[in-house]
């Protein structure tokens, strides 16, 4: 689970969060709050995964709690909003860092992002796969590299603890607190994105009622700790008042850590981490639509397997084309705002399904969530707060993402009619 999140968000978001919040205290509070939300959500998803140990994760839980219509809307959201949005945001982040080294224009950065998406999509369609051993090695490489940064900076006293003072007040020039909190929560959620993905493999885990809750909770805890430590080291190295962008922030930190070649080393690390996550996303995401189509809850044409290469080529192509369109039309923050609102909504709906499912009389083991009902209620309260702040900060993107999801209602009727 840690490999889904670590090494991407921590490079693409901390500078913007620090610049807008202008306060070490509020920066720490955001990470702790999002970590608390993720732990509560992980406990809930762990209980659901133990009760419904099937491949599919949230799709399965929504189907059981609300029926096929809502499950279809979740898949529709994955296809048209979440997966293209995450793919596009990763490609834009990768291109921005590459542009900082190669000194290419914003238009050329967009072109590079599209080339990366289409190249990886084509490789996936033609059957090229990253092996599980490689992806696991990449995860350990990311975690090890981040921990090395923390040790290196503190052990050799390369920063200054005065950068944390004043600790609570916002610095001059920071964004007003409510708007800063909204933008930073959105960025922090993006950084934690993926903790729920581990539930999709519950059907392949022995003793899931014990393993899944523990694995999800430990994974979230590790991510939270790593993010707090790494963000703290970045502030220790670079004062908040000198932060202008994520790319320059990493370049400054890299130079302090490794000297003249430090910026290039940091950028190379960022590109490696983002490229690995982008490749994994393009490999794994289209398989969800294939699973839904097998259940009769999705367009069979979308999930059709390529006759020669045996891959879900149409789903891969749709994801790549929509992601490329988002790269052309939006900035990193606009793309993230497009999919974050609906992603949070469906997570909240999934956890709310626990209460709905517990009220039913059914066969099989009960859904066990530590701290129930406080755990799901705490998660839902945080979800409601986050949805309000996201709608307040980026109303157009939130509305547009929700509107695209609602278009799935007539599409669902079309699927039923064809079946």
User: Using CA atoms, how far apart are residues 226 and 154, in angstroms rounded to an integer?
Assistant: 15
Structure tokens of 22?
């202008």
User: Which of the two residues, 352 and 159, has the higher pLDDT score?
Assistant: 352
Q: Is the pLDDT reported for residue 36 higher than 60?
A: yes
Is the separation of the CB atoms in 118 and 141 below 8 Å? no
Indicate the average pLDDT of the chain.
81
**Can you tell me the mean pLDDT for 7-12?**
67
Residue 55: pLDDT band by 50, 70, 90 thresholds? low
Q: What is the model's pLDDT at position 234?
A: 85
Structure tokens of 39?
């732990």
Peptide bond into 166 cis (omega under 30): yes
Rounded to the nearest 10 degrees, what angle do helices 68-77 and 395-406 cross at? 130
Kindly state the percentage of the chain with pLDDT values over 90: 18
Give the DSSP letter of residue 308: T
pLDDT digits (tens, 9 = 90+) for 273-285: 777 778 777 776 7
Structure tokens of 364?
């099989």
Number of compact structural domains in the chain: 1
CATH label of the domain that carries residue 354:
1.20.1740.10
Q: What is the model's pLDDT at position 218?
A: 79
Kindly state the percentage of the chain with pLDDT values over 70: 84
Is the full-model pTM beyond 0.75?
yes
User: Sign (positive/negative) of CA torsion 399, 405, 410, 411?
Assistant: positive
**Can you tell me the mean pLDDT for 75-99?**
87
Q: What is the model's pLDDT at position 3?
A: 45
Q: What is the model's pLDDT at position 287?
A: 63
Q: Is the pLDDT reported for residue 17 higher than 80?
A: yes
CB neighbourhood size of 164 (10 A) = 18
Full domain range(s) for residue 376: 2-418
345 half-sphere exposure, CB direction, 13 A CA radius: 24
User: Using CA atoms, how far apart are residues 56 and 292, in angstroms rounded to an integer?
Assistant: 8
Could you give the residue ranges of the DSSP H alpha helices within 78-176?
83-102, 106-125, 132-155
292 half-sphere exposure, CB direction, 13 A CA radius: 34
């Amino acid at each position: 689970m840690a490999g889904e999140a670590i090494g991407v968000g921590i490079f693409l978001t901390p500078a913007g969060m620090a610049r807008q919040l202008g306060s070490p205290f509020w920066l720490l509070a955001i990470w702790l709050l999002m970590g608390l939300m993720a732990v509560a959500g992980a406990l809930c998803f762990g209980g659901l995964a133990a009760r419904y140990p099937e491949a599919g994760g949230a799709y399965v839980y929504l189907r059981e709690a609300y029926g096929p219509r809502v499950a279809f809307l979740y898949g529709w959201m994955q296809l048209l909003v979440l997966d293209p949005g995450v793919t596009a945001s990763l490609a834009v982040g990768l291109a921005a860092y590459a542009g900082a080294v190669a000194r290419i224009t914003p238009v050329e950065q967009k072109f590079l992002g599209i080339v990366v998406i289409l190249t990886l999509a084509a490789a996936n369609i033609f059957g090229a796969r990253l092996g599980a051993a490689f992806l696991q090695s990449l995860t350990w490489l990311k975690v090890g590299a981040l921990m090395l940064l923390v040790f290196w900076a503190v052990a050799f006293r390369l920063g200054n603890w005065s950068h944390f003072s004043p600790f609570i007040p916002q610095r001059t020039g920071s964004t007003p607190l409510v708007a800063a909190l909204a933008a930073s929560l959105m960025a922090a959620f993006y950084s934690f994105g993926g903790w729920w993905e581990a539930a999709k493999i519950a059907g392949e885990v022995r003793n899931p009622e014990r393993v899944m809750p523990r694995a999800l909770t430990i994974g979230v805890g590790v991510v939270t700790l790593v993010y707090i430590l790494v963000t703290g080291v970045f502030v220790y190295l670079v004062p908040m008042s000198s932060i202008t962008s994520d790319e320059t922030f990493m370049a400054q930190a890299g130079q302090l850590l490794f000297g003249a070649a430090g910026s290039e080393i940091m950028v190379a690390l960022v590109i490696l981490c983002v490229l690995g996550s982008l490749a994994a996303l393009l490999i794994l995401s289209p398989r969800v639509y294939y699973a839904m189509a097998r259940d009769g809850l999705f367009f069979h044409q979308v999930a059709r397997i390529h006759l020669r290469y045996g891959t879900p080529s149409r789903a891969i192509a749709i994801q790549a084309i929509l992601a490329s369109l988002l790269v052309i039309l939006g900035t990193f923050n606009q793309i993230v705002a497009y999919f974050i609102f609906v992603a949070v909504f469906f997570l909240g709906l999934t956890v709310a399904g626990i209460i709905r499912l517990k009220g039913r009389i059914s066969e099989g083991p009960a859904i066990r969530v530590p701290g129930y009902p406080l755990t799901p209620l705490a998660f839902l309260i945080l979800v409601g707060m986050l949805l309000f702040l996201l709608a307040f900060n980026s109303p157009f993107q939130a509305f547009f993402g929700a509107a695209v999801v609602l278009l799935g209602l007539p599409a669902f009727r079309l699927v039923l009619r064809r079946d």
